[in-house]
Amino acid sequence: MKTAILHSPGDVRFEDVDAPRILAPTDAVIRLSATCVCGSDLWPYRGIQPVPQPTPMGHEYCGVVEDVGRDVKHVRPGQFVIGSFFASDNTCPHCEAGYQTSCQHREFVTGAQAPKLRVPLADGTLVATPDMPTDDLVPSLLAASDVFGTGWFAAEAANVKPGATVVVVGDGAVGLLGVLSARLMGAERIIAMSGHASRQALARDLGATDIVAERGEAGVERVKELTKGVGADSVLECVGTQQSMAQAIGSARPGGYVSYVGVPHGVALAGEQLFFTHVHLHGGPAPVRRFLPRLIDLVWKGEADPGKVFDLQLPLAEVAEGYRAMDERRAIKALLMP
């Protein structure tokens, strides 16, 4: 089969590899119904993260189980399943506490920009839908695999409550689905920080009540104006740079909550400054597995349509164009059909 391999920054190729098969008795192999390019794939694509060797790409997936190892008890061939970027046993103390991305036996899943994928720890990792989904649901179910789950975690980690005033820093797919998540959690006011007209429009469609186009200190000033000088109750930082982090922390009220869900690149927090802001800070790799049953339910019942973030659809063979379009910000998120 053919799959996406990143050879070096900017060089994604669609190349022949051996089809995946069961290696451990807890594995499953699934045939993907859809996959996509993640904002985090752009870090190595842009050379900000090293590419030491040709690397199979992709960690967002949903599809139909083809085969399972002999120790797999709950996942069965023929089921439509969704998993997340870290495989987890879902039974260790960290999983039990809801932090499956810190599972004591976690394995990073990669190679999902492909027709088939091996998923380790299948029973702990995969969640089946109630039935075989119709095609129109597939993009939203795929979104639950990572971006919706990460946006949801951002809102949850930022303690979004009914009636809250929320700021979302970052207008990528995760930020946009942070907006949707905050709306679903009952936020009254959702301020999306975005300078791009098309993303502003989608943010409003997903639930944003206000848009702040300014960035950095000017953006913080604008948030302060919009909140009568108080600041936001909850701020979702969905970028991962020093500037976005400072913007997020500056936008929160004393005692407010700041979440951060993108891997920070070159971020250093000065302890004394952070201390006097009085914010709560929580983040990390989103434990999507914790939220999957709820997110699948929201999509299944038509209460959430996170698939709206896919504004470009390509055959999997054109994966390289998906990377280019996202790198050049021509697309928010590229859906790839195997």
Identify the helix (H) or strand (E) that includes residue 200.
Answer: helix 197-206
Q: Does position 163 bind its own copies by CB under 8 A?
A: no
For residue 300, the SS3 value is: helix
62 near 82, Cβ under 8 Å?
yes
Phi, psi of 150 (to 5 degrees): -75, -40
- Would you say 85 or 260 has its CB closer to its own copies? 260
Minimum distance of its own copies from residue 245's CB (angstroms): 7
- Which two structure tokens, joined as six digits, stand for 293? 């049953």
Taking each helix axis from N to C end, the angle separating 147-157 and 173-184, rounded to the nearest 10 degrees, works out to: 60
* Residue list 195-234, contact with its own copies (CB under 8 A): 228-230
- The yes or no reply on residue 48 touching its own copies (CB under 8 A) is no
CB of 167 to its own copies, least distance (A): 16
Q: What are the distances in angstroms from CA 285 to CA 53, 112, 264, 271, 329? A: 24, 18, 10, 22, 24
Return the residue of 85, 152, 260, 323 that touches its own copies, per CB under 8 A. Answer: 260
Residue 302 CB contacts under 8 Å (≥ 6 apart), including other chains:
none
From 65-73, 98-106, 117-125, 212-220, span contacting its own copies (CB under 8 A): 98-106
Nearer Cβ to its own copies (115/264): 264
Number of residues in the chain:
338
DSSP H or E segment with residue 228: none
Among 280, 300, 324, 327, binds its own copies (CB under 8 A): 280
Rounded least distance, CB 8 to its own copies, Å: 23
- Contact call for residue 153 and its own copies (CB under 8 A): no
Size of the site for its own copies (CB under 8 A): 40
Residues at the interface with its own copies (CB under 8 A): 93-94, 97-99, 101-102, 104, 228-230, 240, 242, 245, 253-255, 260, 263-272, 274-285
